[in-house]
Structure 1
Amino acid sequence: MGPDEIKRLTDAYEHTLSVLSVKDRDDLLAELIAKKIIEIGQTGLKDPAQISARAIEVIGLP
């Protein structure tokens, strides 16, 4: 992963945590979110907001 991809995934992760009001980074939900963000990022999707929305949809949270 290059710096641009890491930034996109980090932005998507931070956005998803914010939307879902996850404060504890050690929470299992935060870990699940991180894994889904990486999986979705590897599909070629580039926009952090779209990656975040897709992760929330895949996890099945509102």
Structure 2
Amino acid sequence: MAIYRILQNSPLGPEEITRLSTAYEQALRTIGVQDRNDPLTELIARKIIEIGQTGLKDPVKICVRAIEELRLSKG
């Protein structure tokens, strides 16, 4: 999956990787992406990481912000 590949060589600690991975998985579920090879997964992963670097810690808030910023919300 995109986020794991991107984070594989990152200097982030396990706690931060877990937080970002949780936000990523939640975002994919929220917008209904089932195909993990969909190019959209990489776009979402990069946005999740970008938001995580702003200091936001809550995976749910990271997920919501990523979806809003990418304008991917349903409805």
Unaligned runs of at least 5 residues, structure 2: 1-11
Name the count of aligned residue pairs: 62
Specify the structure having the higher radius of gyration (Cα): 2
More helix by share: 1
Residue pair 1:8, 1:47 contacting (<8 A) in 2 also: yes
CA offset at residue 7 of structure 1? 0.3
Task: Supply the RMSD in Å over aligned alpha carbons.
Answer: 0.5
- Offset of residue 20 of structure 1: 0.6
Structure 1: which 4+ aligned runs deviate by more than 4 Å?
none
CA drift at 1:59: 0.3
The one-letter code of the counterpart of 1:44 is G
TM-score, normalisation: structure 2: 0.80
> What is the match of residue 5 of structure 1?
16
- Stretches of structure 1 that go unaligned for 5 or more consecutive residues are none
* TM-score under structure 1 length normalisation: 0.96
Among all aligned residue pairs of Structure 1 and Structure 2, give the percentage whose two residues are the same amino acid: 61
